[in-house]
Structure 1
Amino acid sequence: MKADRLADSVCRGLGKAGHGYGLTTLTLLLAGAPALPALAEEPGGEAKTLDAITVISTGTRKANMAVTDSPAPIQLVSAEMLKQSAAPDLINAIANQVPSYNANQTGSDMASQTLTASLRNLSPNHTLVLVNGKRRHITSNVNTTTGAASADLSFIPAAAIDHVEVLTDGAAALYGSDAIAGVINIILKKNHEGGEVDAGYAGYKDGGGGTDSWGANIGFGSDAAYFSLSAEVENRKTVYRLGSYSYADCVANYADCSAVNPSMAGFLANDVQGMTLNGRFPNVNAWLNPPEVHRKALFFNSGAVLSDTLELYAFGSYGKKTAQSEENYRRPSQDGGYVDPATGEVSHKYPLGFNPSEASDEVDYELTAGLKGVLADWSWDFSSSYGKNKMDVYTLNSMNFSLWQDNGYSPEDFYDGSFWASQWTTNFNATHDFDVGLSQPLTFNAGVEYRRDQYGIDPGDPTSYYGAGASSFPGYNPLYNTGSYSRHSYAAYADVVFNPTEQWLLDVAGRYEDYSDFGSKLVGKLTTRFDFSDTFAVRGTASTGFRAPTLQEGYYSAVQVGPTSATPTLQPNSAAAAALGFGSLKPETSINYSLGFVFRPMPNFDSTLDFYRITISDRIGVGTFEYSKAGKPGDTNGDGTPDAAYNAALGQALVNFGYLGGIDPATPGGSLDATARQNISVAIFNNALKTRSSGVDWVTNYITEFDWGSIDWMLAANYNKTEVLSAKPAPDVLGGATMYSAATLINLENNAPKYRVNLGATFNVGKFSLRVTEAVYGPQYQLVAPYDDWNGDIFPDSVLRQLDVVDVNGAPYYKQKIGTMALTNVELTFRPTEQLTVSVGGDNVFNTYPDKIPAAAYDYLEKNYLSYYNSPYLTGSPVGYFGARYYAKLTYRF
């Protein structure tokens, strides 16, 4: 058991369990490797040291690279560490251990059903995910706010994982597109016997989020062949925190609402009764709360030795996930009403209003097979992988306003269509060590790779896209949303690793890739390390990289509809985008520099400090252009009158997109209903940004020993600063409109914690372990325009005086802040036998919540303007809005 804990400590810092080395192997190496120095024995005969012989498989092409010699910064998360805190998914489990890896806790619309994470506050697309060193396919579900479409880690069972290697350095020259921020390499178990079964339950102190999870792993085979099979099942309920008191104050203060905003009096009179009688009042709104999720995942890993020089291997996964997230409450009168032609009577489908939901049925699978061996002293590896993700999308408990107004009929549930993405990757890699008279052999590695990407959107039922479409999420229309798209790429790469002296290592790598849609890219990397002594080393990297735009970013097309708004997302290379002056996306390019220091001043102590700077050009983002109305923030003239030329360009884009009625609310026959057309924006992916991310990672581990047991100390910290260096203007046809407002760019720089610190101590006494961790999140903020959502009126001075108002290019904004937070996590583990482990614990045990939106702004909008987006918390909290979470779990190994 103590050797297992030691392996965890090694993993946190420099240590890496190598490719094919599981926790059991680590334990054997730690306890009995003949190369180790004499070890101090603890009671029970188990030895403890940080001088573990471990091998890494990420960030270098050199075989059998000892972790203590790694020229690149790598943090490793062991299987035991992944299970700490009973994290709801693999993304959060890794984020709990790696401070520079931040997991999104909530999302809007379909983004909430495929949550992502990012390294160093870059896009999730900037982190490449590998499984056993092979590229993992990405999700088909694109985040229409950030463009993120990375690998969905929720389909990888924790029970299947031996460990995770997190390379926090640019590595596109080694692995190709996407590896700008770093690489996550998930190493699977290779057990041919034994296994484990685990079960757990978790829930929040303040209610909701009840989660039961089950996992299992079993191994079959012999020393010459193995088949490791793992499974995981999760059922997670939603949590009601955001918008919990939606509409309550406005209904209670109806007279105030009508007096302050007379234009609301008409519909309020019709809707107050319906909202009050709604069975969930005052909690009628649940937008931005996490979805209810039911997930099943299966994974296998296998291999067989065919001869002394040849091995066959295969691994793969299959998973299913259903998710359902509630959207904004719709008032009773919002359907416009059906007028009976015989009686003239007006009727509403939902007299008490309704809460539409967006739901998905998702299937995800991948298979990798390969051969590896040795021929004429060359180690070679040939493999091919195919993976696919498909989501069927539904709108539930909703209606189609157009159908209702036209004939008094509308379904409640709609099939909106589906989107899917697949990736086929074939790779050949060869490595040879040459004796060139240096202190160590020169390692030469070269390879070639072929990849084919496909993406498609399939149409929904006609009722889902008729007229205005299903409220909340209109279906995919075959006239302008759907289609299938593909591209292919070829790559060739080479890597040379050598030691000019015994203390000095150099690694030079280059990669050339050619894509069928945008052309070719050549990138390179120089990595070095110099060991001044056994206790101190310096390492550094200079590299260039790139990221190919995903097909999802290039071809996704849909309409997001709110209670009084609609935002069509245009394909960048479509006729609609061409009308606005846009074209196809280009690849992002990056320049990465890092400098690190490695300290091992004494036994049982290690520390690393790594500085980095990443500059990204042609960074892809989503630009949004709002239809200009008098007195609205979208008034591009700035004089209180709409900009006719600007509106005409947006109108033509919408006509080209397929909305023949354009966007003017006064235009009859438009595809968008008049209510939704009160606030129109057009969104489009573009290459407008150049950013720089700078920071430092610090990881330290120390083990202290006592007569009664031991304490494992851990400190892991990250500081990150994001700067927007430039932003391209919008095309001329938009009349000089900015692609991104100054406030949007400021938010990009400040919408994530400036720093994260994890401080932890694990007390080990006999069969008990107590882990206490303090997770500290630095401050962040967003700038918000002080306008109401209804008329675009600026807040009165009496409200503005209570806010932290700043001037941005002559326009007022107020800061919504999340201050520094410290969350305490505690876990008690009892091992009554070698096979059985029981743990109970809590995350955020003191029930800490992020700062709320300034009361002056929240109360004013809630009471006077019936604000639709009335979350009491700032969206984007790194820890969510859910409070303390408690759990219990049991693991049985056999």
Structure 2
Amino acid sequence: MATIALASLSATGVMAQTGAPAADDADTSTIIVTGTRTTGMKAADSPAPIQLLGNDALQRTGSPDLLTSLAQNLPSIQAQAFGSDLQAHNLQLKLRGLSPNHTLILVNGKRRHGTANVSVAGGPYGGSAAPDISFITPDSIDHVEVLQDGAAAQYGTDAIAGVINFIQKKADHGGTVNATAGQYYDEGGRTYAIGGNIGLAPFDGAYLNVAAQRKHKGFSFRGDINPQAIALSAANPAIKNLPGYPYTNRIVGDPHIDETIASYNAGYDFGDFELYSFGSYGHKKATAYENTRPPTTVARTVGGVTTLFYPIGFQPQEHIDETDYSITGGFKGSIADTTFDIASTYGRDFIGVYVLHSANAQLYRDTGFTPTTFHDGDFFTTQWSNTLDLTHQFDVGLSTPINVAGGLEFRHETYGIKAGDPASYYGGGAQSFFGYSPNDAGTYKRDNFSQYLDVSLNPVEHLLVDGAVRHEHYTDFGSTTVFKLTSRYDLSDSIAVRGTVSTGFRAPTLAEGGYSGINVGPSSVSGVLPPASAAAGALGFGGLKPEKSTNFSFGLVLNPAPRLTITVDAYQITIRDRIMISSGFNGYTGNRCPLGYAGSNAGACLPYNDDLYKINNQLAVLGAVNGALGGSTNVTSLANATAIPSYVYLTPTGLRETTGSIAVQSFVNGVKMRTRGIDMMVTYNMDVGNLGRLDLTFTGNYNANKVLGINPLPSALYSSTINPGLTRLIDTSSVVQLEHTTPKFRGTLNALWTWDKFSLNARESYYSEVYALETARSGPDAGSLIKVPVKPSFITDLELSYQILEPVKISIGANNLFNKYPTERTKAFIRNAELANNERGYSTDKYPNFSPYGINGGYYYARVSFKF
């Protein structure tokens, strides 16, 4: 359940970065509120691993973006470095290498609504519809609690990897103002942010904390020259007037973002009761470059005269206009020995999608007219949660009373797509992003009702046992019951052991089940089918099933010296029927070998003609695509797939289009996956005589993902007997992304030295190798999948601060101090061939976009902080 009834949890492995200089016992005395229902539990008594980040620690990253701040401090969290298409505007995080959907996001213990911008990419971020934490005001945060343990039985069935709880400030006086500016060492990314918070006491017993932030981030570019533009400029010199020539294809890099967010946290205490409310509002406008187009893309020939709409080519951009808000109201308190918390939370995210500086080539050819700005459609999602939590202690003669907690939750969710302007999806649609048609539009709803029971007791002194059971019922996926058993035993004052075993169940998000987007290009049709649609049914799919998981962990807590704390926790998470985007299924590929082909590679290619469609079972794909475009799913040949434009597979003279293709994907229950790892934390603080104080923290994470099995293809789909790995439900490249794009080891050593008015924060992070697979274009392995790595790297962050006046502090710093870039993709086997063939792709694949520390290099900044 997403709420906590006056409950608090702590962890022995708490980071000593809670905002104020810590006393010697700060770690062990901290009371936190994530992961147990026992009231007042201290850090020293925690049965589960949890890490704390105070507001000062978040500020010391120099980034106004919470995603970056969390990832720099916590090795088990990885931030998405780059997102294609709409994902560029809504980067996500993953905990322990799992999907962003496996981490529950809370604010003040209440569930945060997800984004309407679902990721349709492959790999570990595919299907992500998790909350966009960029809409959480950084200056409103007192501290962040990260529970690194499966908690589905405690909070809800999506807390498989863990829980991140943002605890907001409750001060009724004082405040802060922070102004930050910075940019990348090399090019772009110019950033500024100004924000702050103020605490007020409207009347006796009440508090109101208000925070706001305005931030801006400029474009960056990390691509290469565009060989296509250079080659075309010989015949059309005007191409050299495209901005950035010859670096005209500027899709790889950060988008341009302007965002304004505000939030409040309020309460009124009277006796043993409190009325409370908190909420947020945010507005984001973001623009990202897409692939540049040559002049011939949009052209019209009349009477033998060809007119180019963009004589020098064009650089289309995708743009979003997003509004996000949330509000919570609640009442909590205690009656005798029973505490209660009743609350209601409503959240909504709305995204308008646009294409700028573009054109509809088919519309221009047909009519001589095309817009240059398109409204492609809208996404929206809402979540309304209502919760009741109760706790009561019973004294039955044990060493401590038994704590019993129970509660109820009712949640109503919606997700929907609205169609765009007709010009955005007419014919081949708007260049760079095909609009959402009425066939894609729809609204999806569901309700969830859940109940939980949690019992915590000390059967004997020094032994803590906590058991939780949770039952959930979804109106679209039925019922489930999940369990968790947690235990901790203190062998002495300096040694304790702890462990958990739990089960989990994650229903597909409405976005995973309802997203639809079919793109029609000049010679291709591709996109994503809703899993439960009639079109997907033509492929043999019957909708999504819930994921099921099992989680084990075992840990040690060591306090060998008064100022030294060590925690080590090993874990294993197994997820069955993990939801992800499928491989692409082809219904037509124009360059398939013709029947009777006898070339040297004949044994490796699939024959193609209309008669062989039935043998190869590709008619199901054609039927699915035809149905998604508004036609019948019962297709017996390519010729009667009447909803598919003929120009996709036929040239203007009626010949077969050799570059044409028809392919679709869908969200599927793809794999069984196992994650094994170890989290470690060491904290030590010491006085260094007349030189002040030094706080040292080492955090490390070893994480190994393994795909144990891939679910079979539906019977309607063809599986190659020549290379089955290329026609599986989840292809080999996607499997490798799941397994190897999260570092197997990451360690971070943080040293904070404070002396008089000076402070110096140094952070050294190590990332082990990650890699993906790509097809070699040249060399002895041409045509085969080869390893494309990001080699092991050390990244250094440094910040120096000086308190110039009592309320004013200035800071300068650098993230990635030595301007480290990820390993470039191989020129010998991939990029040289792209360059030789004058391919636009050469410009976009200089660096692997799955780099765990980004693709932009070093970033420097300055910050002024004012406290009052």
TM-score by length of 2: 0.91
How far apart, in 1, do the equivalents of 2:229 and 2:805 lie?
60
Moved more, 875-884 or 197-206: 875-884
Tell me the CA shift for residue 23 of structure 1. 5.1
Say if 1:568 and 1:615 are closer, same or farther in 2 by CA, change over 3 A.
same
Shift of 1:186: 0.6
Pairing partner for 2:192 from 212, 221, 232: 212
Change (3 A) 1:122 1:515: same
Look up the SS of the partner of 2:87 in the other structure.
helix
Listed as ranges, the matches of 1:48-67 within 5 Å are: 48-50=24-26, 52-67=28-43
Cα distance per residue 1:843-879 (max 9 Å; x no partner): 1111110000001110111222514363211121111
CA contact (8 A) 2:11 2:50 kept: no
Corresponding residue of 2:246: 282
Paired AA for residue 647 in structure 1:
Q
User: Which residue of 2 is the match for residue 112 of structure 1?
Assistant: 88
1:468 and 2:428 matched: yes
* Deviation at residue 680 of structure 1 after TM alignment: 3.4
Superposition deviation, residue 813 in structure 1? 1.0
SS in 1 for 2:188: coil
Instruction: Render the CA deviation track for 1:820-853: whole Å, top value 9, x for unaligned.
Output: 0111111001112331111100011111100000
- Please name the residue that 1:402 is paired with: 362
Superimposed CA distance per residue, residues 152-185 of structure 1 (whole angstroms, 9 cap, x where no aligned partner): 1000111000000000000000011210000001
Name the stretch that deviates more: 619-628 or 717-726. Answer: 619-628
Q: Is the 8 A contact 2:221 2:252 kept in 1?
A: no
Amino acid at match of 2:60: Q
The one-character-per-residue Cα deviations of 1:311-362 (angstroms, maximum 9, x if unpaired) are 1000000000000001111111123x2122xx33111211111111110000
- Shift of residue 475 of structure 1? 1.5
Does residue 239 of structure 1 match 2:220?
yes
Between the aligned partners of 2:27 and 2:57, the Cα distance in structure 1 is 20
Deviation of the 1:629 alpha carbon: 2.9
Cα offset, 1:560, TM superposition: 4.9
2:73 to 90, 97, 100: 97
1:644 is aligned to 2:613 = yes
Matches within 5 A, 1:486-501: 486-501=445-460
Q: Which amino acid aligns with 1:877?
A: S
3-state DSSP of counterpart to 1:858: helix
> Which residue of structure 2 aligns with residue 593 of structure 1?
552
Matched, 1:164 2:164: no
Instruction: Tell me, yes or no, if structure 1 residue 681 matches structure 2 residue 663.
Output: yes
Post-superposition offset of 1:51: 5.7
Give the secondary-structure state (helix, strand or coil) at the position aligned to 1:747.
helix
Aligned partner of 2:158: which letter?
D
Is 1:889 aligned to residue 852 of structure 2?
no
Distance 1:12 1:683 in 2: 45
Shift of 1:288: 3.1
Change (3 A) 1:251 1:427: closer
Which residue matches 1:792? none
Q: Deviations over 1:38-69 (max 9, x none)?
A: xxxxxxxxx64446521121010100010110
The answer to which of 864-873 and 664-673 deviates more is 664-673
Residue 133 in structure 1 maps to residue 102 in structure 2? no
C-alpha distance in structure 1 between counterparts of 2:12 and 2:234, whole Å: 60
Change (3 A) 1:750 1:178: same
Match for residue 626 of structure 2 among 648, 651, 655 = 655
Q: How do residues 346-357 of structure 1 correspond to structure 2 at under 5 angstroms?
A: 346-357=306-317
TM-superposed CA distance for 1:719, in Å, is: 0.8
Alpha-carbon offset, residue 671 of structure 1: 4.1
Q: 1:509 to 1:692 in 2, by over 3 A?
A: same
**Equivalent AA in structure 1 for residue 199 of structure 2:** G
In structure 2, what is the equivalent of residue 837 of structure 1?
Answer: 809
For this pair of structures, how many residues does the alignment match? 821
1:659 and 1:672 in contact (8 A); partners too: no
Task: Give the Cα separation in 1 of the matches to 2:631 and 2:259.
Answer: 41
- Residue 619 (structure 1) aligned with residue 565 (structure 2): no
Amino acid at match of 1:641: P
What is the Cα deviation at residue 700 of structure 1?
A: 0.7
* 8 Å contact from structure 1 (residues 132, 186) kept in 2: yes
Query: Is the contact made by 1:160 and 1:189 (CA closer than 8 Å) also made in structure 2?
Result: yes
1:271, 1:331 within 8 Å by CA — same for their partners in 2? Answer: no
Secondary structure at the counterpart of residue 725 of structure 1: strand
CA distance in 2, matches of 1:219, 1:318: 18
Query: CA, structure 1 residues 660+269, in 2 after alignment: closer, same or farther (shift >3 Å)?
Result: farther
In 2, distance between residues paired with 1:211 and 1:269?
A: 34
What's 1:390 paired with?
A: 350
Indicate whether 1:359 and 2:319 are aligned: yes
Q: Corresponding residue for 1:550? A: 509
Q: Distance in 1 between matches of 2:506 and 2:593?
A: 34
- The AA in structure 2 aligned to 1:767 is K
What amino acid is the match of 1:619? R
Task: State the match for 2:722 in structure 1.
Answer: none
Give the secondary structure class of the aligned counterpart of 1:860: helix
CA distance in 2, matches of 1:150, 1:561: 28
Query: What is the alpha-carbon distance in structure 2 between the residues aligned to residue 562 and residue 818 of structure 1?
Result: 33
Query: Unaligned regions of 5+ residues in structure 2, if any?
Result: 1-9, 595-600, 650-656, 720-726
Partner of 1:6: none
Change (3 A) 1:444 1:453: same
Q: 2:841 aligns with which of 868, 871, 892?
A: 868
2:11–2:46 CA contact under 8 A, matched in 1: no
Partner of 2:775: 785
Per-residue deviation at 1:133? 0.5
Instruction: Return the alpha-carbon distance in structure 1 between the equivalents of residues 234 and 643 of structure 2.
Output: 26
1:831 match: secondary structure: strand
CA contact (8 A) 1:14 1:68 kept: no
Q: For structure 1, list consecutive stretches of 5 or more residues without a partner in the other structure.
A: 1-9, 31-46, 255-267, 787-794, 806-810
State the 1:13 CA deviation: 3.5
Q: Which residue of 2 is the match for residue 629 of structure 1? A: 589
AA at the equivalent of 2:531: P
More deviation in 57-66 or 629-638? 629-638
Q: Is the 8 A contact 2:429 2:520 kept in 1?
A: no
Q: Are residues 175 and 669 of structure 1, via their aligned partners in 2, closer, same or farther at CA, if it must alter by over 3 Å?
A: closer
Correspondence for 2:794: 822
Matched residue of 2:560: which SS? coil
Structure-2 residue corresponding to 1:315:
278
- Greater displacement, 634-643 / 728-737: 634-643
Contact persistence 1:580–1:653 (CA under 8 A): yes
**TM-fit CA distance, 1:530:** 0.4
Does residue 833 of structure 2 align to residue 879 of structure 1? no
Aligned equivalent of 1:43: none
Return closer, same or farther for 1:524/1:667 CA change in 2, 3 Å cut-off.
closer
Deviation string 1:644-683 (CA, Å, 9 cap, x unpaired) is 2333211111111016599969989844854997243201
Aligned partner (choices 835, 846, 852) of residue 818 of structure 2: 846
Mapped partners of 1:633, 1:875: distance in 2: 33
When structure 1 is superposed on structure 2, of 827-836 and 445-454 the one drifting more is 827-836
| Maintained 8 Å contact 1:620/1:685 | yes
Given the alignment of the two structures, is residue 176 of structure 1 paired with residue 147 of structure 2, yes or no?
Answer: no
Residue 299 (structure 1) aligns with: 263
SS at match of 1:333: helix
Return the offset for 1:744: 2.7
1:859 aligns with 2:855: no
Write out aligned runs for 1:142-153 (5 A). Answer: 142-145=118-121, 146-153=126-133
Of the three residues 738, 756, 761, the one matched with 2:728 is 738
3-state SS in 2 of match to 1:656: helix
Q: With the length of structure 1 as denominator, give the TM-score of the two structures.
A: 0.88
- 1:813 aligns with one of 767, 785, 792: 785
Q: Is the 8 A contact 1:12 1:76 kept in 2?
A: no
- Residue equivalent to 1:339: 301
Identity %: 40
Q: Is the 8 A contact 1:14 1:606 kept in 2?
A: no
Supply the RMSD in Å over aligned alpha carbons.
Answer: 2.5
Q: 1:776 & 1:330 partners in 2: Cα distance?
A: 39
Tell me how far apart the structure 2 counterparts of residues 271 and 52 of structure 1 sit (CA, whole Å): 73
- 1:800 partner letter: G
